[in-house]
Amino acid sequence: MALFKKRTVGKPGEWYYCLEHKKVEEGPECPNKDRFGPYASRTEAEHAMATARERNLQWENDPKWHDAPAGGRDDES
């Protein structure tokens, strides 16, 4: 067991979206693995999930990154 707990680092005015608690927080309160950010404003952090959905959709439809058909192997008949 560690003697000292590592604190998350952040600057005042940086906003994050916590995936674990599904809330916006100023400065990182939760570990990196559980959050998106930093964002420049609270509003940007509030829209983090929508931004992620849009970026995922763009990535899924980008022909440069599509090596195989979704949901299957590329050698199916």
pTM of the model: 0.67
What percentage of residues in the chain have a pLDDT greater than 70?
71
Whole-number average pLDDT of the chain: 82
Contact, 16 vs 24, CB < 8 A? yes
Calpha distance 17→37 (Å, rounded): 6
pLDDT score of 2: 56
User: Residue 67 — very low, low, confident or very high, per pLDDT cuts 50/70/90?
Assistant: low
- The pair of structure tokens assigned to 15 is 């906003």
Q: Tens digit of pLDDT for each residue in 39-66?
A: 999 999 999 999 999 999 998 888 887 6
Is the bond leading into 63 cis (omega within 30 degrees of zero)?
no
